[in-house]
Amino acid sequence: MEFFPRRSGRLYAESVPLSEIAEQFGTPCYVYSRAALTDAYRSYDAAFDRRLLICYAVKANPNLAILNLFACLGSGFDVVSGGELRRVIAAGGDPGKTVFSGVGKSAEEMRFALEAGILCFNVESKGELRRLDRIAGEAGKTARVSVRVNPDVDARTHPYIATGLKQNKFGVAYADALPLYRIAAASPNLQVTGIDCHIGSQLTEIAPFVAALEKILTLLDRLTSENIQVSHLDLGGGLGIRYRNELPPSIDEYARAVTSRLAARDQSILLEPGRSLVGNAGLLLTRVEYLKHSENKNFAVVDAAMNDLLRPALYDAWHDIVPVEETDASRCRYDIVGPVCESADFFARDRELVVNEGALLAVLSAGAYGMSMSSNYNTRPRAAEVMVDGGKVHLIRERETFDQLIAGEKRLALSCDSGP
Ligand code: LLP
């Protein structure tokens, strides 16, 4: 099923024309398809023929409606801050199905997560392990832990989103993992329950996943031989999606590669997918403010900007950009840029487009790391978000207002003419 079909020249989200959404909610606006989200989740669930807990990586898109949808489908969650855990709880998610990743968990975040009863802390250093043991002891609780192992495999992805190499800050060096597990196993307030790894994001090949899994299994055997029991293997997220011409493995291929290597093991599997659940389930709707032609460049200035979708500016990422309605304007190559005062404020360079001023454009594959990385740079209120469900459109986040933007700020009562 196509979730964003084109019919008679008009682009739709499920059965709602995007132009109607722009009319009703304004632009820029993120639009998600409930059916696409559900379909991606079910594909994971169906592909694994063994005990599997999907822990959706909240950072990819933390809107409460999206978390709530996944919670209703049975999902667990991967969080990287106390704030994300609060979102999971606010959305009706189960803390008992939630893992906590990240290199910098504060004492306060640990207390909160212990109180909430999360499934597991994915511990990333010896210091963190010690702190967690102490805090769990003070709280009279036992913290369930995995060590996030850095398997030193090359994920062959953008350097900013590779995490499994020795030089990355993430996880514990492979050689240090066993000694750390021994410490964990001997700590009175910790209970070892899993092994964790996550090697990077937007992976388009199976081989790095398999290489990481094999190292995890070797470690698992060592732990078993030392009588340190592990009940789950957390293989992280990272499965890529198609933005342009990538050919990432399908969820089925990925599942086959993983499960075929686990046949003889009885551990359950945890996965932390983010992008592959939400990336292609959302787009950013924006309107062309001006077409600007100069001697050797043409610009389409749109009303969304790098503060709304940072990926092109930060990673030089490609997003397909298509007109919402076909017109008879002339075909032209444009740099598609936003109003922010930075040369990096672009969505695409030299892209062929047929558009008029005032036309709507859809920036595709924007469901992951779009809204979640947005900011208020240039005092731009954040975009609205809607979720389409068949013929219905639900506003799931109101467009931010100027008053919300300055709510926490204070003017000092200075008199302007009393300066030095
Ligand atoms: N688990 C952990 C511990 C992670 O750090 C991440 C993503 C995930 C799971 C989910 O990975 P995914 O399935 O989404 O690839 N802002 C970048 C992506 C950063 C990913 C950070 N970690 C982007 O826009 O491409």
> In the structure encoding, which two tokens stand for residue 381, read together?
């209120």
* Angle, vertex CA 102, rays to CA 236 and CA 263, nearest 5: 20
Q: How far apart are the CA of 239 and the centre of ligand 1, in A? A: 9
Pocket test for ligand 1, best of 149, 241, 275, 365 (most atoms within 8 A of CB): 275
Pocket test for ligand 1, best of 105, 163, 201 (most atoms within 8 A of CB): 201
Residue nearest ligand 1's atom 9 by CA = 237
**Mean per-residue pLDDT, 119-129:** 97
For residue 196, the model assigns a pLDDT of 98
Q: How far apart are the CA of 237 and the centre of ligand 1, in A? A: 7
Residue nearest ligand 1's atom 22 by CA = 201
pLDDT at 85 over 70: yes
**Mean per-residue pLDDT, 94-98:** 98
Residue type, 74: G
Q: How far apart are the CA of 410 and the centre of ligand 1, in A? A: 35
Nearest ligand 1 atom, CA 158: 25
Nearest ligand 1 atom, CA 240: 15
Q: How far apart are the CA of 58 and the centre of ligand 1, in A? A: 9
Share of the chain above pLDDT 90, in %: 90
For residue 420, the model assigns a pLDDT of 61
Residues in the chain: 420
Pick from 136, 219, 205: nearest CA to 172: 219
For residue 388, the model assigns a pLDDT of 99
Residues annotated as catalytic (active site), given as ranges: 341
Strand-pair partners of 30: 284, 385
- pLDDT grade, residue 418 (50/70/90)? low
For residue 91, the model assigns a pLDDT of 98
pLDDT at 303 over 80: yes
Tens-place pLDDT, residues 144-193? 999 999 998 887 777 776 776 777 788 999 999 999 999 999 999 999 99
For residue 404, the model assigns a pLDDT of 97
For residue 254, the model assigns a pLDDT of 96
Tens-place pLDDT, residues 268-296? 999 999 999 999 999 999 999 999 998 88
DSSP 255-296: HHHHHHTSTT---EEEE--SHHHHGGGEEEEEEEEEEEE-SS
Q: Which of 101-115, 157-171, 393-407 is the least confident region?
A: 157-171
Q: How far apart are the CA of 291 and the centre of ligand 1, in A? A: 35
For residue 419, the model assigns a pLDDT of 60
Share of the chain above pLDDT 70, in %: 99
For the chain, domains (ranges, CATH) are 6-31+279-405 (2.40.37.10), 102-271 (3.20.20.10)
CA atoms within 13 Å, Cβ hemisphere of 362: 26
Q: Which of 44-53, 310-319, 347-356, 382-391 is the least confident region?
A: 44-53
Which protein residues are within 6 Å of ligand 1, measured from CB?
57, 60, 78, 101, 161, 198, 201-202, 236-239, 272-276, 311, 315, 368-369, 373
Hey, which of 58-72, 151-165, 253-267 has the most confident mean pLDDT? 58-72
| pTM above threshold 0.85 | yes
**Mean per-residue pLDDT, 382-409:** 98
DSSP 3-state assignment of 348? strand
Nearest ligand 1 atom, CA 202: 15
Pocket test for ligand 1, best of 37, 53, 59, 365 (most atoms within 8 A of CB): 59
How many Cβ atoms sit within 10 Å of the Cβ of residue 16? 19
Q: How far apart are the CA of 414 and the centre of ligand 1, in A? A: 45
Tens-place pLDDT, residues 205-247? 999 999 999 999 999 999 999 999 999 999 999 999 999 999 9
Nearest ligand 1 atom, CA 201: 15
Q: How far apart are the CA of 37 and the centre of ligand 1, in A? A: 17
Tens-place pLDDT, residues 10-20? 999 999 999 99
For residue 413, the model assigns a pLDDT of 85
Residue nearest ligand 1's atom 6 by CA = 237
Q: How far apart are the CA of 60 and the centre of ligand 1, in A? A: 7
- pLDDT grade, residue 373 (50/70/90)? very high
b (16+ CB within 10 A) / e for 326-358: eeeeeeeebbbbbbbeeeebbbbeebebebeee
For residue 263, the model assigns a pLDDT of 85
